[in-house]
A and B are shown apart, each in its own frame.
Chain A
Amino acid sequence: MARRGGGLMDLLPLLPQALADGLLLGGVYAIVAVGLTMTFGVLRIVNFAHGDFLAVGLYLTYLSATLLGLDPYLALVLVLPLVTLAAAFTYKLLVAPVIRAPEHNQIVVTLGLSLILQNAMLVFFTADLHAIPSVLSGQVVRLGNVFIQAAALIASAVSIALCLGLYWFLRSTELGRLIRASAQDRDAALMSGVNVDRMYLLAFCIGVGSLGLVAPLIAPFNYVSPSVGSNFTLTAFIVVVLGSMGNFAGALIGGFIIGIVEAVGGLATGGSINFIITYAIFILFLLFKPEGLLGARRL
């Protein structure tokens, strides 16, 4: 509200900066959404606890920093395996038993998991915001009038590379072919001798485990709090619906769109009004184009 006096023209010089911020943010959104779309595309499970695994990763990074004195980039070697392991346990204990249950039950199980994870973090770490310092915190790259945090650049670049790498993996490797077979027709895959349960486990571990890679990378420029996960879950849903459920390219494009909308919207309006814009886009897409920008595709 306070910015209204400035007029739109005054904001114009800030636009390149907002676009750059949006693109960087978009890369991170894209990989979080790709993880969600992977679990949905292969297992047909909507994981409401997806973002909470990112928060778990962030707290593991925080613990490595405070207890072991590790820089987030070094903590990666601990956080990635731990989050992937957590994903494997989650699949075995919670997801596999409801894989053929009605959709209601699946949603409720992942919602229950989200409640447990979020509040366990709240109990252990309180609601305080924590910053995780890194050697790269405060390092800034300057391009003309645009300032880019080095850590954000790395996080975004790695995220995009990971999206593309996962796409290549699914398309061009034997294992990827088996995963896609399980996604497309469970029974036919079973009859052809594919270990479908193993493929589901693998897809879930990749989809959720990728958050274990992202978390340490975004740690240097993000605050950690128990609720950070639910924000990411909702954003990931928005991105996934925008770019079509199960579609990797869609998730990448959707990530950039939402990143830019948030950054530019935040610039133009200030405060939490830009959330309203994001939700409005989401609702309009759900209602009028539920198949998303690129159309639903099985993996």
Chain B
Amino acid sequence: MRPMLLLALTIALVACVAPLLSIYGQHIFVLVALYGSVALAWNILGGMAGQMSLGHALFVGAGAYVSTALYLKLGVNPWIGLLLAALVGGALGAVLGYTVFRRKLSGVYFALVTLAVAEMALHIVSNVAVFGAANGLAIPSKPDFANFQFSSKLGFCYAALGVLALVSAVILGIHRSRLGYVFLAIRENERSAAALGIDVVQGKVIAAAISGSLAALVGPIYANYVLFIDPESVLGVTLSIDALLFSFVGGLGSLFGPLLGAVVLVPLTELLRSLLGGRLAGVHLIVYGVMLILVMRLAPQGLWGLLSDAVGRRSK
């Protein structure tokens, strides 16, 4: 239980810091926590179980659209929407995982299937009136706790931190459980895992379901924070690549490397944006691309690996 205690203390500490930040600082805080959560969720499937997805926007988008459409069209409370989002994300992950992994497709085939499914979802949503088609859905601003809208940014800080804490707790829970070892065995060598009696397909499907469910939780919070969603922002391939990128830069093999990736890269993005203003829109993505290649070449363990190496050397 010690890691859980450490997690709780860290979250409490971070929660105490949030009120001290400026409004802009709190905005970055929310973004880091949300992107960090998506990256951590991605890493359960991509890093822990070793199945690389190029379509995690599918889950975030599904979560955002489920809760927002239900709230706007049927008046379903967003808190219930949040729960439904997680269920839909988990179901999508399980169905997608089952159809792909049962056919022994992995590696680049899984990456292509996830990419194609997410792109198809984007085009479907862009044509469906209930989802606002290509124009997106705007949520009227009614700040109220019951509405899952908060009058201050601090409220959203805590909501985003809550999801981050949940995702982190799930990861810690998996890590030292039987499931964690199943994921590890599948990642390292599928055949040996199967020879040991591990149900490889089942293990991957579980990883996809957990990963999809947690990623979907981020959708409704993002939607209520920005009060607007459209297909490109929550279902676009950019978001899918962000999740992968934060994980790789932060450190694929580690538990919390993806969060570190978000902690470093999200503020960097915002910094570049404010420095360059509206001009040169793609500069931060060039930086991402360069970092991705450099990390792959020079430090395959990512920033987390570099950091833990440095700490290890210091303590010797």
Contacts and interface: CB of A to CB of B under 8 A. Distances in A.
Interface of A: 46, 94, 97-98, 103-105, 107-109, 111-116, 118-120, 122-123, 127, 226, 230, 234, 237-238, 241, 271-273, 275-276, 279-280, 282-283, 286-288, 290
Identify the interface centre among B109, B123, B281, B291: most chain A CB within 10 Å of its CB.
B123
Given A279-B119, A287-B113, 11 more contacts: A108-B296, A109-B296, A112-B296, A115-B286, A127-B281, A272-B123, A283-B113, A286-B105, A286-B109, A288-B103, A290-B103
B281 A123 contact: yes
A283 B286 contact: no
A107 B293 CA distance: 10
Contact of A118 (B113, B120, B285): B285
Those 9 A-B pairs whose CB atoms lie nearest each other, nearest first: A119-B282, A115-B289, A112-B292, A116-B289, A122-B282, A279-B120, A119-B285, A112-B293, A112-B289
B184 interface: no
B127 A273 contact: yes
B228 interface: no
A104 B46 CA distance: 10
Contacts, number: 110
Nearest to A238: B116
B170 to A, nearest CB: 23
A115 B241 contact: yes
7 contacts: A104-B52, A108-B248, A112-B288, A112-B291, A271-B127, A275-B123, A283-B113
Contacts of B107: 103
B100 interface: yes
A76 B290 CA distance: 30
Contacts of A286: 100, 105, 109, 112-113, 116
A119 B105 CA distance: 32
B130 interface: no
Contacts of B282: 118-120, 122-123, 226
Given A276-B123, A286-B105, A107 B283 contact: no
B297 interface: yes
Contact of B286 (A98, A111, A116, A241): A116
Contacts of B100: 286-287
B154 interface: no
Contacts of A123: 280-283, 286
A288 B286 CA distance: 37
Contacts of A108: 244, 248, 292, 296
A107 B46 CA distance: 13
Contact of A234 (B111, B119, B288, B293): B119
Identify the interface centre among A115, A119, A237, A283: most chain B CB within 10 Å of its CB.
A115
Contacts of A114: 289
Q: Report the interface size class on chain B.
A: 35 or more
A98 B298 CA distance: 12
Contacts of B77: none
Contact of B112 (A120, A127, A230, A241): A241
A237 B107 CA distance: 15
Contacts of B292: 108-109, 111-112, 115
B117 interface: yes
B289 A119 contact: yes
Interface in B176-194: none
A243 B300 CA distance: 34
Interface in B269-316: 280-283, 285-286, 288-293, 296-297, 300
A127 B280 CA distance: 10
A127 B248 CA distance: 28
B116 A282 contact: yes
Contact of A107 (B103, B108, B119): B108
B127 to A, nearest CB: 6
Contacts of A104: 52, 252
A109 B244 CA distance: 12
B76 interface: no
Identify the interface centre among B52, B105, B289: most chain A CB within 10 Å of its CB.
B289
Nearest to A271: B127
A282 B108 CA distance: 14
Contacts of B127: 271-273, 276
B124 interface: yes
Interface string B232-247: 0000010001001000
A270 B47 CA distance: 40
Contacts of B135: none
Contact of B293 (A113, A271, A272): A113
B289 A113 contact: yes
A234 B119 CA distance: 10
A276 B281 contact: no
Given A116-B286, A272-B126, A273-B127, A109 B293 contact: yes
B116 A283 contact: yes
Identify the interface centre among A111, A112, A237, A271: most chain B CB within 10 Å of its CB.
A112
B301 to A, nearest CB: 12
A115 B296 contact: no
A97 B297 contact: yes
Contacts of B293: 94, 109, 112-113, 116
B99 interface: yes
B120 A276 contact: yes
A115 B291 CA distance: 11
B289 A283 contact: no
Contacts of A237: 112
Contact of A98 (B99, B248, B291, B296): B296
A67 B186 CA distance: 55
Contact of A112 (B105, B109, B112, B290): B290
